[in-house]
Homo-oligomer: A and B are copies of this chain.
Amino acid sequence: MSLSVAVAGASGYAGGEVLRILASHPEFTVTTVTAHANAGQPLASVQPHLRSLAHLTLVDTTAENLAGHDVVFLALPHGKSGEITEQLGGGALVIDCGADHRLTDARDWAAFYGGEYHGAWAYGLPELVHAGGGAQRELLAGATRIAVPGCNVTAITLGLAPAIRAGLAFAQDIVAVLAVGPSGAGKTLKTEYLASEILGSASAYAVGGTHRHVPEIRQNLAVAGGGDVSVSFTPMLVPMSRGILATSTAPLAPGATLVSVRDAYEDAYGDEPFVHLLPQGQFPRVADTIGANTALIGVAIDEAAGRLVTITAIDNLVKGTAGAAIQSANIALGLPETLGLSVNGVAP
């Protein structure tokens, strides 16, 4: 079997990473790559690292060009995927790496994004534990429309959901602060993303609860059993091209211990191929996840502060975007979940 694949938004960082993983996936063959401003150019001119796909040429991002494939990956600015998917026929599996189909509540969409609301799709975070037992994976089998989570959301959700499901930490008054690399912002040409601005520096953005990932975090932790979630989320931009290191803290429930917390994470992730709890006293490095579909998690109890503190490392472009997309596609299509995905990071 080889499935034909189209990738929309193939000139950006997310689209490029989808292509990098697809290039070595044994069951997918990329036949169409689309872009907006770069349409007409060889793919190699904007993605010179994708040597094995150098024969491809970018075409316009239109429903016509995306039609007729077995699988379509969308890596488009928010608002754009919603538009174009309405024009796509029903035959293909469509995976949206953007935000348009993540939120289940139209009011959240209106409050944080605005514009037309396109409705929620099956949510592509297979390891998200559900309050009632089981995990999100079950909802992805056979799905034909999948929304890939936001990268920061994935790091925070994976880092806290097991403790919340187990009743060992509360989802009220969560505080999460992340060190993130600039590739999450894509190729946006703004002064603040210039190398001269970011090298040797760090800065925070969307401070005070305005980041668009906030409702999605709340949504996930509610799925895990968090009730009426509240979260203070602050991303700090730091000088590494890829990666997220999330420090996620939540108030400890009475009686929670390091043993019971570790048990809850082992219970949630012990059989997961891509989400790993580190041994006691160990905390992850971003470098260990680069290029890999891996999330690494370390947990600690701060007794004096009354908080659970978890550290989660992911590659924002892989487990945070493209890897999650392909993992979800594997599940939806009944392929082995790990097919074409690496668990080993490129370090140092």
Contacts and interface: CB of A to CB of B under 8 A. Distances in A.
Given A173-B305, A194-B189, A305-B230, A344 B243 contact: no
A179 B4 CA distance: 41
Interface in A149-189: 173-175, 177, 179, 181-183, 185, 187, 189
Interface string A280-299: 00111111111110101010
Given A200-B286, A285-B48, A346 B291 contact: yes
A309 B196 contact: no
Given A49-B292, A302-B208, A302-B209, A285 B240 contact: no
A241 interface: yes
Contacts of A207: 247, 283, 298, 300, 309, 311
Contacts of A227: none
Given A285-B203, A348-B242, A190 B189 contact: yes
Interface string A291-324: 1101010101111111101010100000000000
Nearest to A231: B305
Nearest to A251: B173
A123 interface: no
A304 B240 contact: no
A236 B242 contact: no
11 contacts: A48-B284, A49-B289, A49-B347, A174-B305, A175-B232, A181-B196, A189-B194, A195-B198, A197-B287, A199-B241, A201-B287
What 4 A-B pairs come out closest when comparing CB atoms? Answer: A208-B300, A177-B177, A49-B345, A201-B287
